[in-house]
A and B are shown apart, each in its own frame.
Chain A
Amino acid sequence: MIGQRVLRVEDKRFLRGEGRYVADIALPFMREAYVLRSPQPHAKIVSFDASAALALEGVDAVYTAADLPASLTPIPCRIPTHGDMTPFLQYPLARDVVRFVGEPIAVIVASSRALAEDAAELVAIEFEPLPVVADAAAALDPATPKMYPPGNIATQWGFDLGKVDDAFAQADIVVEKSFSIQRHSAMPLETRGLIASYDKARSYLEVWGPTKVPHTNRAMLARMLGMRDGDIRFAEPDVGGSFGARGEFYPEDIFIPYFAMKLGKPIRWIEDRQEHFASINHSRECTFDVKASANKDGRITAFDVVLVADLGAYIRTHGDVVPSHAAASFPGPYAIRNYRVKATAALSNKTPSGTLRAPGMFEANFAREQIIDMMAEKLGMDRAEIRRRNLIKPDEMPWYVGTQSVNRPTLFDSGDFPGLFEESVSHFGWSAPLAKGEGPVRRGRGIVALVEPSGFGPFESARIEIDPAGFATIFTGASNQGQGHETMLPQVAAEVLGIAHDRFRVRHGDTAMIPYGGGSYASRTAVMGANAVHRAALAVKAKALAAAAQMLQAKEEELTLDGGRVIVTANPSRFVTLAHIARVLTPGNAELVPAPKDFIKDDHDGLTGEVFLRAIPSGTAVFSVHMADVALDIGTGELKIERYCVSGDVGRAINPMIVEGQLVGGVAQGIGGALLEELAYDEDGNLQTGSFADYLLPSSHEVPRIEALVVEKAKSLSNDLGVKGCGEIGISGVAAVLANAIAHALGTGARPTTLPLTAERLLDLVEPRP
């Protein structure tokens, strides 16, 4: 089953509109919540009057920070950071100061969402505006008023590896350039949402809607509210996308459950799209000042990078992980030992930030891969050739970059980077001539190489249960936002157990069913989730063989598990089915464990297998090459992507169709980030994007057919299946390769260094504005 292009079993319900998302769930006596958010980027709350709102028929309550427990802490950061970030953490509801447009101030609970919104218009809040820190540049300016007593900089750190200054002094060429990546974020088709219901007498709080890391978030809620983990159930329904942003622990994740407890009625909160723009973790906004050097032979000798990231108004659960990853991984798949980076995480009066698919890597690739093209141009060297000469070689693996991010070493466990590179270049026809541009059209070709970490731990769990009818249930600690777990995980178990793929169900994301789960992030499900399922299946197999040996009165080594049956290898007419074994191993079944005569004893625990896996901290490295041909209209600046090919060495593809889908979807999303998407603010800190009319996502017209070249060259050496995560390589190189192709099309040395690459910006590169 592993390696087969099994159609996704979950697609049937998604395509028929039969998915059950959080907004499809309703409970008796349920009320609806609306979160009243700050219209001010930075202001003191002078007065708050909800009396008119409360007078409206159908309004239950208008809750503010004063209604939360007095002892409540801000939402903690769950990831190791550079230094202490506690001064910058966010309280679930603003207390006396708001620091970004969209910060929750109050929660209106009413009989309907529309009524809650009517009530919101009746709440009178008086603000006293405070000076606004508009962006990172302002944050770095000592003259700017401080948002927090420690200032407007959350942290600064860096690495200084090898001898960077010596390398620059000795190099044949040195190039420098600055790059700017715009603020944008995940736009899951389904916005966030929660339903919380509390059984006070039994002390049981149930929350539907959590995803990504439900167990981590449940523990965080329990800790913040002083509750027991076991008194809280988090349940993940169908989820329409996360991309790293949805499923983090947000202010709503504490105050919706808490106010449901306080009100004594279930509360549902469904984020609308306008809220989403202001409240979901933003991401990506940063600048790189890059200096790089190389020798005449194309050997890159040093990178020197100044990275400044704008993290927004508060530090959230992700801390400074995005610039941290960018700083740790900037050298990419190249063997470079002289590397210096100085990173700054600045604060501004904008929505706080977190990760977005390929966090820090999309950004770093955009800067590094352009600098490499600049070096190739200066050396008069082919752009593939310069990469070829610098890629880390298989015999140099494992490769330790020399940096760390969130306490994990940046370590590439395995890989044949040159092998995939040559296969990609040859597949695309890198050296084939470009079609001539007709009229105002100029054509260009780009190439980038990148490496993504994948499969981060720390752990993952899996439990497989075979029932007496021969059906199997997989309980996975991985959570699911549409990636295909329900198809892919059974393929892995079916490979071991020989049970037909369609006899499996997959349960996930429910803390009542799954005691410990890692979740879904960092392209980890194939690596951690599937390996856990694989070992759980092996445990089931071992148990089945042991039981079958007794049932068939044979030795275990005389038996084979084949097609859902355990057979006597020498005499295949003698067999027992897994269903039969499951029946025999059912607790209370007397066939193999007769009732004790005078004292209790252990019984069977079913035909089950349960596994908890620990990962190596650095995960497993996945290498990728992106290539694209573009056509640039030099009369209008319009860009057409004429061809796009992304390749990835995933070690082993459990379901090649799903892997290709991840690559193609990643590229499509990356095209949005490269060309269109921006969470824009004016200079006064007001968010300018409030709908999909001004936050532009790519459509089928902007996304060309994308070729995905999935290669199984270098198996991961750090897990049983040899798999590497494929979720992020698709998006990671898009801005970089399009920028390189555009620069090639221009052919003048001009280079698009500011994202998004709008037609206007590209036309500006054609020649200076008249």
Chain B
Amino acid sequence: MKPAPFDYEAPTTIADALKLLGGHEDARPIAGGQSLVPMLAFRLARPSLLVDLNRIPSLAGIEEKGGVLRIGAMTRQAAVLASDTVKHHAPLLIQALENVGHPPTRARGTIGGSCAHADPAAELPSAMVALDATMVIAASGGERRVPADDFFIGAFETVLQTGEILVALELPKQTGGSAFLEVSARKGDFGIVTVAARIAVKDGRCTDAALVLGGITERSVRCAQAEHILKEQGATPKAIDVALAALPLDTVTMDSRLASAAYRRRLIPELCRRAIEAATTSKVAL
């Protein structure tokens, strides 16, 4: 369990990091290292060069401006979890983070690292999709912005190209109450099924709804049809039943020793019902 040989650089500016990443074949950025370091130890990842992003101060920080919350990609998960700004602006992210790992992993793990790694069972990608986040990507040619739902492509696959770095996540102010529920083998493990729900109810009408499943296939799945039903019919018990009948159960492809596809399919409506009910009765409803 010793990594294959690799070179190591620790730039202090984004520009230098981009130069290093662009200039080497098989170079890889490393953020908190909570996934990449084990992969190196198992020799599942064999980069020629590791570009350590931990010494670039401008990559970390939480800032709210003009109704948009910008979280630097290298912000530690623990810092996000402890942030009152995040709690007021995007409580769903806090709810998701409570299910991510443990204090030691969150002290090192970063918000952007988890998104860029794109583990299909990770909580943060689902939260980003449910929060309509925008992923800010830097390349030597400049920045581009990609909606979270378009950022995640598949298992461990995003739109990030060689030579690019995810530099920040931008979140609009959360509308609606929210809940993040999951079943995992142990507290802190990746989810067998995760559900991120965000439901805005005003004057008995459902003005916005996001329902995102994780852990079931290569990437987070937005339940567009169920969201549509809730928005059309309101988050009434009857409408919730109809919405639950429209969940994309056929998208479940994850089938493993620790949880079969059938089990995951059985969990989805159960967790979705609980998440929708929790989101609509959420004290933090906005």
**A residues adjacent to B (C-beta < 8 A):** 113-114, 117-118, 121, 272-274, 635-638, 676, 680, 688, 690-691, 693-694, 696, 698-699, 701-702, 758-760, 763, 769-770
B2 and A699: CB pair below 8 A? no
* Identity of the chain B residue whose Cβ is nearest the Cβ of A115 in the assembled complex: B2
A-B contact pairs, 23 of them (CB 8 A): A114-B5, A117-B2, A117-B43, A118-B5, A121-B43, A273-B1, A274-B42, A636-B183, A636-B271, A676-B185, A690-B42, A691-B42, A694-B257, A696-B186, A696-B189, A696-B258, A698-B186, A702-B186, A702-B187, A758-B185, A763-B263, A763-B266, A769-B262
B187 touches which of A272, A273, A694, A699 (Cβ 8 Å):
A699
Chain B: minimal CB distance from A108 (Å): 12
Q: In the bound complex, what is the Cα–Cα distance between A759 and B4 (angstroms)? A: 38
Please, which residues of chain B bring their CB within 8 A of the CB of A693? 38
* Identity of the chain A residue whose Cβ is nearest the Cβ of B274 in the assembled complex: A635
A680 touches which of B5, B102, B257, B263 (Cβ 8 Å):
B257
A638 and B187: CB pair below 8 A? no
B263 and A760: CB pair below 8 A? yes
Q: In the bound complex, what is the Cα–Cα distance between A680 and B185 (angstroms)? A: 16
Q: In the bound complex, what is the Cα–Cα distance between A636 and B270 (angstroms)? A: 7
Taking chain A's interface residues, is the majority helix, strand, or loop, or is none over half, making it mixed? loop
Q: Decide: A638 near B183, CB < 8 A? Known: A272-B1, A273-B1.
A: yes
Chain A: minimal CB distance from B192 (Å): 8
Q: In the bound complex, what is the Cα–Cα distance between A384 and B123 (angstroms)? A: 44
A701 and B187: CB pair below 8 A? yes
Q: In the bound complex, what is the Cα–Cα distance between A691 and B42 (angstroms)? A: 10
Chain A: minimal CB distance from B35 (Å): 10
**B residues adjacent to A (C-beta < 8 A):** 1-5, 38, 42-43, 102, 183, 185-189, 192, 257-260, 262-263, 266-267, 270-271, 274
B259 touches which of A117, A118, A760 (Cβ 8 Å):
A760
Please, which residues of chain B bring their CB within 8 A of the CB of A769? 262, 266
Chain B: minimal CB distance from A770 (Å): 7
Please, which residues of chain B bring their CB within 8 A of the CB of A676? 185-186
* Identity of the chain B residue whose Cβ is nearest the Cβ of A275 in the assembled complex: B1
Extra 9 A-B pairs, beta carbons < 8 Å, given A690-B42, A691-B38:
A113-B2, A114-B5, A117-B2, A636-B271, A696-B189, A701-B186, A702-B186, A758-B185, A758-B259
B270 and A635: CB pair below 8 A? yes
Please, which residues of chain A bring their CB within 8 A of the CB of B187? 699, 701-702
Q: In the bound complex, what is the Cα–Cα distance between A680 and B4 (angstroms)? A: 28
Please, which residues of chain B bring their CB within 8 A of the CB of A770? 266
Please, which residues of chain A bring their CB within 8 A of the CB of B263? 637, 759-760, 763
Chain B: minimal CB distance from A398 (Å): 44
* Identity of the chain B residue whose Cβ is nearest the Cβ of A113 in the assembled complex: B2
Please, which residues of chain B bring their CB within 8 A of the CB of A758? 185, 258-259
B185 and A696: CB pair below 8 A? yes
B3 touches which of A114, A121, A272, A636 (Cβ 8 Å):
A114
Q: In the bound complex, what is the Cα–Cα distance between A693 and B256 (angstroms)? A: 13
Please, which residues of chain B bring their CB within 8 A of the CB of A696? 185-186, 189, 258
Please, which residues of chain B bring their CB within 8 A of the CB of A702? 186-187
A274 touches which of B1, B185, B259 (Cβ 8 Å):
B1
Chain B: minimal CB distance from A682 (Å): 8
Q: In the bound complex, what is the Cα–Cα distance between A84 and B223 (angstroms)? A: 63
* Identity of the chain B residue whose Cβ is nearest the Cβ of A696 in the assembled complex: B185
Please, which residues of chain A bring their CB within 8 A of the CB of B3? 114
Please, which residues of chain A bring their CB within 8 A of the CB of B189? 696
B260 and A760: CB pair below 8 A? yes
Chain A: minimal CB distance from B281 (Å): 14
Q: In the bound complex, what is the Cα–Cα distance between A272 and B189 (angstroms)? A: 22
Please, which residues of chain B bring their CB within 8 A of the CB of A637? 183, 263
* Identity of the chain A residue whose Cβ is nearest the Cβ of B190 in the assembled complex: A693
Please, which residues of chain B bring their CB within 8 A of the CB of A272? 1
Chain B: minimal CB distance from A219 (Å): 33
* Identity of the chain A residue whose Cβ is nearest the Cβ of B183 in the assembled complex: A636
Q: In the bound complex, what is the Cα–Cα distance between A636 and B267 (angstroms)? A: 6
Chain A: minimal CB distance from B274 (Å): 8
Q: In the bound complex, what is the Cα–Cα distance between A274 and B192 (angstroms)? A: 24
Please, which residues of chain B bring their CB within 8 A of the CB of A698? 186
Q: In the bound complex, what is the Cα–Cα distance between A566 and B266 (angstroms)? A: 76
Among B3, B38, B186, B189, chain A packs the most CB atoms within 10 A around the CB of B186
Please, which residues of chain A bring their CB within 8 A of the CB of B43? 117, 121
A699 and B271: CB pair below 8 A? no
Please, which residues of chain A bring their CB within 8 A of the CB of B42? 274, 690-691
B188 touches which of A117, A688, A691, A699 (Cβ 8 Å):
A699
Q: In the bound complex, what is the Cα–Cα distance between A204 and B206 (angstroms)? A: 82
Please, which residues of chain A bring their CB within 8 A of the CB of B266? 763, 769-770
A114 touches which of B2, B257, B258, B259 (Cβ 8 Å):
B2
Q: In the bound complex, what is the Cα–Cα distance between A702 and B257 (angstroms)? A: 20
A699 touches which of B4, B38, B186 (Cβ 8 Å):
B186
* Identity of the chain A residue whose Cβ is nearest the Cβ of B189 in the assembled complex: A696
Chain B: minimal CB distance from A618 (Å): 40
Q: In the bound complex, what is the Cα–Cα distance between A759 and B184 (angstroms)? A: 9
Please, which residues of chain A bring their CB within 8 A of the CB of B188? 699, 701
Please, which residues of chain B bring their CB within 8 A of the CB of A691? 38, 42
Chain A: minimal CB distance from B239 (Å): 20
Chain B: minimal CB distance from A712 (Å): 36
Q: In the bound complex, what is the Cα–Cα distance between A638 and B258 (angstroms)? A: 13
Please, which residues of chain A bring their CB within 8 A of the CB of B270? 635-636
* Identity of the chain B residue whose Cβ is nearest the Cβ of A759 in the assembled complex: B183
Q: In the bound complex, what is the Cα–Cα distance between A260 and B3 (angstroms)? A: 25
Q: In the bound complex, what is the Cα–Cα distance between A676 and B189 (angstroms)? A: 12
Please, which residues of chain B bring their CB within 8 A of the CB of A680? 257
B258 and A694: CB pair below 8 A? yes
Please, which residues of chain B bring their CB within 8 A of the CB of A113? 2
Among A118, A274, A636, A698, chain B packs the most CB atoms within 10 A around the CB of A636
Please, which residues of chain A bring their CB within 8 A of the CB of B274? 635
The 9 closest A-B pairs by CB, nearest first: A701-B187, A114-B2, A272-B1, A760-B263, A635-B270, A117-B2, A636-B183, A696-B185, A274-B1
Q: In the bound complex, what is the Cα–Cα distance between A770 and B266 (angstroms)? A: 8
Chain A: minimal CB distance from B198 (Å): 21
Q: In the bound complex, what is the Cα–Cα distance between A409 and B14 (angstroms)? A: 73
Among A118, A758, A760, chain B packs the most CB atoms within 10 A around the CB of A760
Q: In the bound complex, what is the Cα–Cα distance between A770 and B267 (angstroms)? A: 12
Chain B: minimal CB distance from A329 (Å): 31
Chain B: minimal CB distance from A695 (Å): 10
* Identity of the chain B residue whose Cβ is nearest the Cβ of A769 in the assembled complex: B262
Q: In the bound complex, what is the Cα–Cα distance between A759 and B270 (angstroms)? A: 14
Among B5, B185, B188, B270, chain A packs the most CB atoms within 10 A around the CB of B185
Q: In the bound complex, what is the Cα–Cα distance between A696 and B192 (angstroms)? A: 14
Please, which residues of chain B bring their CB within 8 A of the CB of A117? 1-2, 43
Q: In the bound complex, what is the Cα–Cα distance between A763 and B263 (angstroms)? A: 8
Please, which residues of chain A bring their CB within 8 A of the CB of B258? 694, 696, 758
Q: In the bound complex, what is the Cα–Cα distance between A733 and B177 (angstroms)? A: 44
Q: In the bound complex, what is the Cα–Cα distance between A758 and B257 (angstroms)? A: 11
Q: In the bound complex, what is the Cα–Cα distance between A696 and B116 (angstroms)? A: 26
Chain B: minimal CB distance from A37 (Å): 13
Please, which residues of chain B bring their CB within 8 A of the CB of A763? 263, 266
Q: In the bound complex, what is the Cα–Cα distance between A638 and B38 (angstroms)? A: 29
Please, which residues of chain A bring their CB within 8 A of the CB of B185? 676, 696, 758-759
* Identity of the chain A residue whose Cβ is nearest the Cβ of B38 in the assembled complex: A691
Chain A: minimal CB distance from B247 (Å): 14
* Identity of the chain B residue whose Cβ is nearest the Cβ of A678 in the assembled complex: B257
Chain B: minimal CB distance from A513 (Å): 34
Chain B: minimal CB distance from A35 (Å): 12
Please, which residues of chain A bring their CB within 8 A of the CB of B271? 636
Please, which residues of chain A bring their CB within 8 A of the CB of B1? 117, 272-274
Please, which residues of chain A bring their CB within 8 A of the CB of B38? 691, 693
Please, which residues of chain B bring their CB within 8 A of the CB of A701? 186-188
B186 and A118: CB pair below 8 A? no
Q: In the bound complex, what is the Cα–Cα distance between A693 and B185 (angstroms)? A: 10
Q: In the bound complex, what is the Cα–Cα distance between A699 and B186 (angstroms)? A: 8
Please, which residues of chain B bring their CB within 8 A of the CB of A759? 183, 185, 192, 263
Q: In the bound complex, what is the Cα–Cα distance between A701 and B185 (angstroms)? A: 11
